[in-house]
């Protein structure tokens, strides 16, 4: 009698495991409803609309003569099966510049900036109430801090062919910063 109950219990557990596995296998195919889409995912979806090629000019505060009014080119590309947005910014007089990766991590939209100062600051996004601006606040940084690090980023969605970006670099003293504002037009 005990072996029959034990066998029955094992059989029921096996069936429930199979049922849950089949349910989980079907879950990715089910579209999410608006209520199920997190704010982080909504922000990321909005950010992905910037995928493409962009040209503009840099304005710095306080003014930095070596950067101010210089041309800049940005490439944004959706990658990793739609789960990552890669942002690459190039000055026209440099062979390469830093890249930034954007991902949804749980209930947060995160960026990791792979800086030419040899460090990797991470920032967490917050969307403005009107949905037209996405700001990234500093979370932490790893790597070399000898030259300073990126502290803040802001993306303003103007229209499908125009957006602005603002990046704030914090000096090693943790007090002085330089803000670079870019007004960008879509080229592709």
Assign 149 to helix, strand or coil. strand
pLDDT band of residue 96 (cuts 50, 70, 90) is confident
Note the pLDDT tens digit of each residue in 133-155.
999 999 999 999 999 999 999 99
Residue recorded with tokens 């954007």 = 102
**Structural domain boundaries in the chain:** 1-31, 38-186
CATH architecture of residue range(s) 38-186: Beta Barrel (2.40)
Query: What pLDDT is recorded for position 4?
Result: 39
Question: How do residues 41-66 score in pLDDT, each as one tens digit?
Answer: 999 999 999 999 999 999 999 999 98
pTM for the full predicted model = 0.80
**DSSP 8-class letter at 78:** E
Q: Are 155 and 46 in contact (CB under 8 A)?
A: no
For the cut 80, the answer to whether the pLDDT of residue 32 exceeds it is no
Q: How many CA atoms lie within 13 A of 56 on its CB side?
A: 20
- The H-or-E segment that residue 19 falls in is helix 2-26
């Amino acid at each position: 009698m005990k072996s029959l109950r034990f066998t029955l219990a094992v059989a029921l557990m096996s069936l429930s495991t199979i049922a849950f596995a089949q349910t989980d296998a079907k879950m990715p195919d089910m579209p999410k409803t608006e209520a199920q889409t997190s704010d982080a995912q909504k922000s990321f979806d909005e950010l992905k609309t910037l995928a493409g090629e962009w040209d503009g000019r840099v304005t710095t505060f306080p003014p930095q003569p070596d950067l101010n009014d210089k041309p800049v080119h940005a490439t944004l590309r959706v990658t990793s099966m739609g789960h990552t947005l890669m942002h690459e910014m190039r000055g026209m007089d440099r062979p390469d510049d830093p890249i930034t990766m954007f991902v949804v991590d749980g209930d947060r939209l995160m960026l990791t900036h792979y800086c030419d100062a040899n460090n990797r600051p991470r920032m967490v996004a917050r969307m403005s109430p009107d949905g037209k601006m996405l700001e990234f606040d500093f979370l932490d940084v790893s790597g070399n801090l000898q030259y300073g690090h990126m502290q803040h980023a802001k993306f303003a969605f103007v229209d499908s062919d125009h957006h602005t970006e603002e990046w704030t670099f914090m000096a090693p003293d943790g007090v002085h910063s330089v803000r670079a504002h870019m007004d960008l037009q879509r080229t592709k």
